Structure 1
Amino acid sequence: MARVLLVDDEPGVLFALESLLTSRGDAPVVARSGEEALASLDGVDAVVSDFAMPGMNGLELLRAIRERDPALPVILLTAHGSERIAVQAIRSGAYEYVTKPFDIDELSTVLDRALEARALRVQNRQLQMERSVGRRVVGRSAAMQRLLALIARLAPRDLTVLVRGETGTGKELVASLLHAGGHRAERPLVRFNCAAIPPELAEAELFGHARGAFTGATQARRGFFGKADGGTLVLDEIGELPAGVQAKLLRVLQDGEIQPVGTGTVERVDVRVVASTNRDLAAEARAGKFREDLYYRLAVVELVVPPLRERREDIPELAAEFARRYGERFELPGVTLAPELLDRLARADWPGNVRQLESCVARMVALGGGEVIGPEAFEAQEGAEPATGEGTLHQQLEALERSILARMLSTTSGNQSEAARRLGVSRTALIDRIKKYGLSG
């Protein structure tokens, strides 16, 4: 289903256009002026606009849309005999024009071509971003397709973006895609976890410090803004940033200037900022728990990552992708999840969202005894606490892998060849892991 913005000041024309889109199975979005249209662009796949309207005309609207999203196709409806205007519209970037009174079949054909071109541009952009981040992005659900389309449109634009979503939804991946799809892709992508740094050190970590600036500062150090100069700085858990540092971050966003702690010098930095949070910063700003002016600077554009319960149709494909990825990691190529298991996973609750699903699949792959993993592997985990665990996913998986190796070595009385055979890995790989985890043979 495509979302098409219809712009016309004549109710009769809007009714005819809405009827056409509804009959095609598309979702019409209606605006009665150019100004109203500009406020309705989010999530739109194409625009059909009249040329002659009071206030902002179709050509002016076209130019404004091109500034916001050059890849969004705009079809203009022009009066019969207005070839000069039509040529001007094409030169200004219109996808096509259709003369009034329009033929329904002709307009439908033009719209089909425009939507196909839009889909190809978005798909190509997504493939480029996937190559840059080194992983496939799964999301055929309508909620994820809307989000990915917005990411593809925003990535080339040097805007500050606030990424909001529940824990485990994939906010880190969204930030990576925004960086990979922009002109800074070849420059550094630096992450700063606002919740992981003691409040008294947050300023020095972000903006850098001089030698002797505080106890323990034995040498000068560049901050995260300096490390990200020319690239992108991701501020994870931005809601945890201390109030005093919030004011100084606001200055950076306004002026592009930082002052390392313990120096009297001001340095200019060129950094795109992407912030992420699982909190409602707008509500916290209204309640005085977060600087309101900083919130508006961060949320130039706000992207909301949908929780897994709102995109259940993506679960089977996500699970299959995780199985492939961890099968390669654990040297179990070809491992797959049975259709019955995929169906069971799609019906389960995932309060920890994608991160919990990934951890669950990783465990089933690591503990599985064959190439096809059935529903019994998941049912064995039911009744246990949701596998959100402590620490990062990488840390949890390493702890799980160490536990599996230790148990297998105990079962085989330290026989490495037999342990490797039962685990389905080479003896060399097993020995490497034994050394990594400090296990005795």
Structure 2
Amino acid sequence: MTSTKILVAEDEEIMRITVVDHLRVYGWQVDEAENGNKALELIGQNNYQLLLSDIRMPGLDGEALLAEVKKLSPRTEVVMMTAHGSTDTAVNCLKNGAADYIQKPFDLDDLSFRIKRILEMQAIKARCVSLEHCGGQRRPLIGNSAPMQKVLNLISQVAGSDSSVLIQGESGTGKEIVAAAIHFESRRADKPYVRVNCAAIPDGLMESEFFGHEKGAFTGADKTSVGKFELADQGTILLDEIGDMPLDLQVKLLRVLQEKEIERVGGKQQIPINVRVLCSTAKNLAEEVKKGNFRQDLFYRLQVIPIELPALRDRPGDISLLADFFLQEFGQERGMMFKLSPEARQALENHSFPGNVRELRNLLERVSVLAPAPLIQLWDLPFELRGTQPEAASSEVPIAETLADAVADAEKKCILQALKKAGDNKTEAAAILGISRKNLWEKMKNYNL
């Protein structure tokens, strides 16, 4: 992982050398350019966190360079410096996107202080991006079973590299949590972590979502937009449900992985990026390759390091640990201390959990709301875990629980019928059901379809 990269654009040689040498003392990687044209060329080839530019230079002056940088590399902060400035000039530079403006002659320590402050703000923004995209997925990985210990050891091994990782496993096994663990144990932990759900983005918007677009690229594009890959620059991007990516976009993704540069929709400039790519899917990509639904070359490019997550039924010894963790979490939210009776614990351990860890968590959240006491008994669990029939135990079950189960069952059947009618085409199935594709995907994930 490279250190912070700074570009100094200054036509006066003595001034340029003085500033460059001073900034290198702080361990920053500093490049130099003798004019605006050379600076713009370097920006097109490298990822710079900051540009320090004189305003008056031969060829492309500082203000024109600022405008070009904001189009080519919006996340690069720009500090303008000049010996011929005025208040109006300073205001114009700040209005046009400069992070700071400094008058020559200046104190070098003051300059380095300003740069440190800007870099600290960049780090804060990166953490905000990570929190926004990681959301509730940054959870601990729990399990003492041999399959989970193997996964945990593999995470520790791969976290230190920049290799692509393909995380496969059934729905609800915790693929997103594994991806977050890899990022936050890596050298990129203080850089952005961006998660993109490939199944939830309409096909027509996916390229723009990934790579951004230029102003006027299509109807409604009233300004330049930065895509997820640019947003994740220097950090990590998770392509969740990669198996649902359209073939035409797979070609462009393969090129991005090989060339390490992107091109915005409607743009002509190649933008260099430094992003670690993690992918997750509940599909068997090898089978998808055989069916012609996934490119073989992209599959091999993504599967540099494969991680296969075990289903919960293959590690039943972890069910009790997970149950205690989730009940503690829900108890803290409600100011209670939930515990499982021996009979309830045994019933959980005997269940196959086709929805895996997500099903267990959702079940315990529901039980923690509906249970009449902190000690959760066998009869507080759903019928399928107790081994009794609803008719035989109907007098013991709250009406609200039975109604919720009935509604969920009916909704699940409707979704399955729509998918069958549409030949598993999610867009067409969503249209049949009268809901959005994203809404359909969320419901399918909730029901483990």
Instruction: After TM superposition, give the deviation of residue 133 of structure 1 in Å.
Output: 7.5
Residue 393 of structure 2: aligned partner: none
Residue 210 of structure 2: aligned partner: 206
Which whole-Å CA distance do the structure 2 matches of 1:379 and 1:207 have between them? 46
Which whole-Å CA distance do the structure 2 matches of 1:342 and 1:264 have between them? 60
Which whole-Å CA distance do the structure 1 matches of 2:313 and 2:284 have between them? 19
Which whole-Å CA distance do the structure 1 matches of 2:138 and 2:283 have between them? 29
Instruction: After TM superposition, give the deviation of residue 386 of structure 1 in Å.
Output: 11
Are positions 1:367 and 2:370 aligned together? Answer: yes
Cα contact 1:156–1:183 (8 A) shared by 2: yes
Residue 336 of structure 1: aligned partner: 339
Partner-residue secondary structure (3-state), 1:245: helix
- TM value normalised by structure 2: 0.56
Which whole-Å CA distance do the structure 2 matches of 1:212 and 1:165 have between them? 41
Partner-residue secondary structure (3-state), 1:303: strand
Are positions 1:172 and 2:176 aligned together? Answer: yes
Cα contact 2:141–2:178 (8 A) shared by 1: no
Are positions 1:307 and 2:311 aligned together? Answer: yes
Cα contact 1:133–1:177 (8 A) shared by 2: no
Are positions 1:316 and 2:320 aligned together? Answer: yes
Residue 291 of structure 1: aligned partner: 295
Partner-residue secondary structure (3-state), 1:244: helix
Which whole-Å CA distance do the structure 2 matches of 1:176 and 1:279 have between them? 20
Which whole-Å CA distance do the structure 1 matches of 2:145 and 2:379 have between them? 27
Instruction: After TM superposition, give the deviation of residue 136 of structure 1 in Å.
Output: 3.2
Which whole-Å CA distance do the structure 1 matches of 2:336 and 2:280 have between them? 35
- AA partner of residue 328 (structure 1): Q
Which whole-Å CA distance do the structure 2 matches of 1:300 and 1:182 have between them? 17
Are positions 1:281 and 2:273 aligned together? Answer: no
Residues 252-294 of structure 1 show CA distances to partners (whole Å, capped at 9, x for unaligned) of 1111100000010010111000000111111211332211100
Structure 1 pair 280/386, CA: closer, same or farther in 2 (3 Å)?
Answer: farther
- AA partner of residue 353 (structure 1): N
Are positions 1:237 and 2:209 aligned together? Answer: no
Partner-residue secondary structure (3-state), 1:220: coil
Which whole-Å CA distance do the structure 1 matches of 2:268 and 2:382 have between them? 62
Residue 264 of structure 1: aligned partner: 268
Which whole-Å CA distance do the structure 2 matches of 1:300 and 1:325 have between them? 36
Instruction: After TM superposition, give the deviation of residue 381 of structure 1 in Å.
Output: 6.4
- AA partner of residue 174 (structure 1): V
Which whole-Å CA distance do the structure 2 matches of 1:299 and 1:344 have between them? 38
Partner-residue secondary structure (3-state), 2:208: helix
Instruction: After TM superposition, give the deviation of residue 349 of structure 1 in Å.
Output: 2.1
Structure 1 pair 206/281, CA: closer, same or farther in 2 (3 Å)?
Answer: same
Equivalent residue for 1:356, pick from 334, 359, 365: 359
Partner-residue secondary structure (3-state), 2:251: helix
Partner-residue secondary structure (3-state), 1:200: helix
Residues 43-82 of structure 1 show CA distances to partners (whole Å, capped at 9, x for unaligned) of xxxxxxxxxxxxxxxxxxxxxxxxxxxxxxxxxxxxxxxx
Equivalent residue for 1:161, pick from 160, 165, 187: 165
Q: Count residues with an aligned counterpart.
A: 263
Are positions 1:252 and 2:256 aligned together? Answer: yes
Residue 217 of structure 1: aligned partner: 221
1:66-145 equivalences under 5 Å are 135-145=139-149
Partner-residue secondary structure (3-state), 2:381: helix
Equivalent residue for 1:185, pick from 171, 182, 189: 189
Instruction: After TM superposition, give the deviation of residue 199 of structure 1 in Å.
Output: 0.8
- AA partner of residue 358 (structure 1): R
Larger deviation, residues 379-388 vs 151-160: 379-388
Cα contact 1:338–1:374 (8 A) shared by 2: yes
Cα contact 1:188–1:227 (8 A) shared by 2: yes
Instruction: After TM superposition, give the deviation of residue 387 of structure 1 in Å.
Output: 7.5
Which whole-Å CA distance do the structure 1 matches of 2:265 and 2:273 have between them? 16
1:17-56 equivalences under 5 Å are none
- AA partner of residue 292 (structure 1): Q
Instruction: After TM superposition, give the deviation of residue 302 of structure 1 in Å.
Output: 0.8
Partner-residue secondary structure (3-state), 1:248: helix
Which whole-Å CA distance do the structure 2 matches of 1:386 and 1:350 have between them? 20
Cα contact 1:356–1:387 (8 A) shared by 2: no
Instruction: After TM superposition, give the deviation of residue 380 of structure 1 in Å.
Output: 4.9
Residues 406-425 of structure 1 show CA distances to partners (whole Å, capped at 9, x for unaligned) of xxxxxxxxxxxxxxxxxxxx
Which whole-Å CA distance do the structure 2 matches of 1:332 and 1:368 have between them? 14
Structure 1 pair 288/317, CA: closer, same or farther in 2 (3 Å)?
Answer: same
Higher RCO structure (Cα 8 Å, ≥6 apart): 2
Equivalent residue for 1:376, pick from 364, 374, 379: 379
- AA partner of residue 180 (structure 1): F
Instruction: After TM superposition, give the deviation of residue 135 of structure 1 in Å.
Output: 3.6
Structure 1 pair 134/194, CA: closer, same or farther in 2 (3 Å)?
Answer: closer
Cα contact 1:192–1:224 (8 A) shared by 2: yes
Identity within the alignment, %:
42
Which whole-Å CA distance do the structure 2 matches of 1:321 and 1:327 have between them? 10
Which whole-Å CA distance do the structure 2 matches of 1:286 and 1:358 have between them? 35
Cα contact 1:133–1:180 (8 A) shared by 2: no
Structure 1 pair 318/385, CA: closer, same or farther in 2 (3 Å)?
Answer: farther
Residue 46 of structure 1: aligned partner: none
Which whole-Å CA distance do the structure 2 matches of 1:217 and 1:341 have between them? 56
Residues 186-211 of structure 1 show CA distances to partners (whole Å, capped at 9, x for unaligned) of 11110101111111111110000011
Which whole-Å CA distance do the structure 2 matches of 1:294 and 1:286 have between them? 13
Cα contact 1:232–1:273 (8 A) shared by 2: yes
Which whole-Å CA distance do the structure 1 matches of 2:217 and 2:259 have between them? 24
Partner-residue secondary structure (3-state), 1:343: helix
Cα contact 1:360–1:387 (8 A) shared by 2: no
Instruction: After TM superposition, give the deviation of residue 385 of structure 1 in Å.
Output: 7.1
